[in-house]
Structure 1
Amino acid sequence: MVVLRSILFNVVAFVLTGVMGVGAFPIRWFMRAKALAYAKLWSRAVLWLFRTLCGVQVRVTGLENLPASGPALIASQHQSAFDTLVWMLLLPRPCYVMKGELRRIPLLGPMLVLAGMMPIERAAGAKALRLLLHGTDRAIKAGRQIVIFPEGTRTLPGEHVALKPGIAAMSSHVGLPVIPVATNSGLFWGRNAFFKRPGVLQVAIGPAVGPARRADLLGQIEQSWRGLEQRFGVAG
């Protein structure tokens, strides 16, 4: 059953993405202000397929810790592609910090930029940090909620890696606290995994931490993640 559900999901999601990618051309040419709304529609459709075809129940706790509007910094664990979609549904105006190479994906890449996402070339060193802070200024000024994955890459459920310092620089630069988020999405939609597994996928949103000095803030984010993992069992 898992094999059949996974095949069906992957095929339908691929076709949907292609159709909506082609359908995005009029938005790119004539209705650029609608790009974020279109990206939200695509995310909603893919996650509906994921829940319906793969038998996954998504349980989100701590929604009261998210702002109803206005700027915010969100530091989320990153275990699967699910994490790059769900914030389109949970936030009014999300802005993802994403790998620069994603801009070059046919059809999808240009829409990500048009929707106001923040592509960063991580190999650019000090320049990457300057671009990150510049992008943060623009997003905060526009009232966007910035989502960043401080682990820097997708990890396995329960895997702990050193956090990248970018989130601390962003928080210090704009004087905003950070909202930590833990998840167990990798149990159901694994890193580079073809198979999708049924179950209860948890997204646990904690109270904001910081602003604080870099080492202190990174420690607070990790401590919050560990607490959320224990409290809600999201580590798997």
Structure 2
Amino acid sequence: MILFTALRSLAFMLVFYFGTALFVLGAVIGGLFKPAHVQTVATGWSRFHRVSARWLLGQKVVVEGDLPHGPYLYIVKHESMFETIDLLCLFDRPAIGAKRELLDIPFWGGIARRYGLIPIERTAGASALRTLRASAKEAVAQGRAVCLFPEGTRVPHGEAPPLKSGFAGLYSLLGLPVVPIAIDSGVVSPRGKFLKHPGTITYKVGEIVPTGLDRKEAEVRVHAAINALNPASALFGQ
């Protein structure tokens, strides 16, 4: 069984990364003539990723709950690389928060900026928060979903660290209701592991957190909701 899983994981890696190189090339060439083409290529890349995961790894995706679309701030649990790519299948051209240093990577960073990823500088204080707010407002005005991973990095399945401090400030600054989304991708695609296992990856859409709440209460609600798929959630503050 382990050998079969290893072979499937290797096949996925070879197919996906070769395909990714072609999509990147297409984004570069197309972006020279029409910047919006980058978003179209990125969406195709995400769909290619989901199909590859389904048929090469045996991973299927289900969504529990109704996923609303509109001017919301989507806060997503982060367990593996899977959801960073797959969010483009859930939403139309989502503006996803990414560490600033990723956007500074030569070549790839330029494509990411043309796509419209939102740079996040977690140690730059109030100025970074204002920049993030401006980028998020612009994305909302364009009709794009704003998606953030509030834990700051991938978290092993079952762990529930506190949200990064910037979430509460952004909740107040944007004035958008929050849609928290839990995911259990770390069960079949654990962080930093070559072996990827067959199974079901579930998105669980939590209850919408309205605007105007006390920042602490909003944080507690979001933290509980994005950890709803953990075997035993360690709720914030407990």
Distance in structure 2 (CA, Å) of the matches to 1:196 and 1:96: 24
Note the C-alpha offset of 1:12.
1.2
Q: Is the 8 A contact 2:171 2:215 kept in 1?
A: no
Q: Which residue pairs with 2:32 in the alignment? A: 29
Match of 1:223 in 2: 224
Q: Which amino acid aligns with 2:182?
A: A
Is the contact between residue 188 and residue 199 of structure 1 (CA under 8 Å) also seen in structure 2?
yes
| Counterpart amino acid of residue 134 in structure 2 | H
Q: Residue 229 of structure 2: SS of its match in structure 1?
A: helix
Mapped partners of 1:170, 1:48: distance in 2: 34
Q: Percent identity?
A: 35
Aligned-residue offset at 1:153: 0.8
Counterpart residue type for residue 37 of structure 1: T
Q: Identify, as 1 or 2, the structure richer in helix.
A: 1
1:88 aligned partner, one-letter code: L
2:67 matched to which residue of 1? 65
Q: Which of 13, 20, 32 lines up with 2:16 in the alignment? A: 13
The residue type equivalent to 1:3 in the other structure is A
After TM superposition, the score normalised by the length of structure 2 is: 0.89
Contact 1:136 1:170 in 2 (8 A): no
Could you tell me how far 1:110 is from its partner in structure 2?
1.9
Alpha-carbon deviation of 1:216? 1.1
- The residue type equivalent to 1:10 in the other structure is M
Say whether the 8 Å CA contact 2:38–2:115 is kept in structure 1. yes
Q: How does 1:37-76 map to 2 (within 5 A)?
A: 37-62=40-65, 64-67=66-69, 70-76=70-76
| 1:113-124 matches, cutoff 5 A | 113-124=113-124
Q: What does residue 131 of structure 1 align with?
A: 131
1:27 deviation in Å?
A: 1.8
Could you give the per-residue CA deviations for residues 128-166 of structure 1, whole angstroms, max 9, x where no partner exists?
212111212212222221100111110011101010132
The alignment covers a number of residue pairs equal to 229
- Aligned partners of 1:185, 1:221: CA distance in 2, in Å? 19
Give 4+ residue runs of structure 1 displaced > 6 Å after superposition.
none
Give the whole-Å Cα distance in 2 for the aligned partners of 1:130 and 1:109: 21
Shift of 1:107: 4.2
Q: How does 1:99-110 map to 2 (within 5 A)?
A: 99-110=99-110
Q: Given residue 72 of structure 1, which amino acid in structure 2 is its aligned partner?
A: Y
Identify if the C-alpha distance between structure 1 residues 121 and 108 changes in structure 2 by more than 3 Å, giving closer, same or farther: same
| Residue correspondence of structure 1 range 153-172 to structure 2 within 5 A | 153-172=153-172
TM-score by length of 1: 0.90
What is the root-mean-square deviation of aligned Cα atoms in Å? 1.8
Flag structure 1 segments of 5+ consecutive residues without an equivalent: none
2 CA distance for matches of 1:167 and 1:65?
Answer: 21
Give the whole-Å Cα distance in 1 for the aligned partners of 2:189 and 2:232.
14
